[in-house]
Amino acid sequence: MAYKYLVLDSLGRPVARCMSPEGLDAPVWRLEASDEDLERILSHKNVTLVGTSEEWAAAEGRIVRHEGNQVWVEAVRELDGTVRENLRMPVQFQSFLYPVSGGWKGRRLILSRDLSCGGVAFYCAQDLGNGEIAQIVVPVTSQPLLLKLKILHQRPSSEPVPLYAAEFVDLLREEESMIREAVFNIQLRYPAEPGRGTPSSGDTGKEERK
């Protein structure tokens, strides 16, 4: 059985993916990676490994040597599950937001900013209040998901369209698993492109109907 991990740099940014035949139980971990991922890993002295499976831990280590496509990392400390929960992947996808508790009707176009196992940040011209409940279509999972979320607050942004932070609520276990899988694959499959911009108020502020 191979244990799969996402590799983060010292600032918590995802840089590569790797696998380990033995996992992280030993004092020194033996990791295997592709040529491209290995180059990214070796550009750092310390790395954080976050398991892609729900039960696998996160830990920080120090690179000690490498040979071929393998690198050995000395364990430094074990990290709790909040590292995985709070890991946000920058990704842009267009989707729709549907009201549940808000006073507006129809649907609104949104553009995502980042996605984590616990929530999503997105641009939307609709005025959304803290605590408001809505539904969002997340299209980057293995199957599109219609998920319920709660608006937490408006995040600072230099864009003319408001940027909102929201957390997912009432997730089923299967939905949690699908989101986690998407988050851990998203960095290479759907890289964020800052130059793509945000939706304009002209196409998100009005009511959209199917």
Nearest to 68 by CA among 102, 33, 103: 33
State the Cα–Cα distance between residues 89 and 182, nearest whole angstrom: 10
Q: What is the pLDDT of residue 84?
A: 59
pLDDT in the model for residue 191: 37
C-alpha–C-alpha distance, residues 128 and 118, integer Å: 19
Q: What is the pLDDT of residue 91?
A: 83
CB atoms < 10 A from the CB of 205, how many?
15
- CA 87, 93, 99, 102 dihedral sign is positive
Those residues whose C-beta lies under 8 Å from the C-beta of residue 34, and which sit 6 or more positions away, are 69
- pLDDT reading at 32 higher than 90: yes
**pLDDT(93) > 80:** yes
Architecture of domain 89-204: Beta Barrel (2.40)
Structural tokens at position 36: 């491209």
- Give 92's pLDDT tier (boundaries 50, 70, 90): confident
Residue 162 has pLDDT above 90, yes or no: yes
DSSP-derived pairing of the beta strands 14-20 and 46-51: unpaired
Entry pTM: 0.65
Average pLDDT over residues 9-36: 87
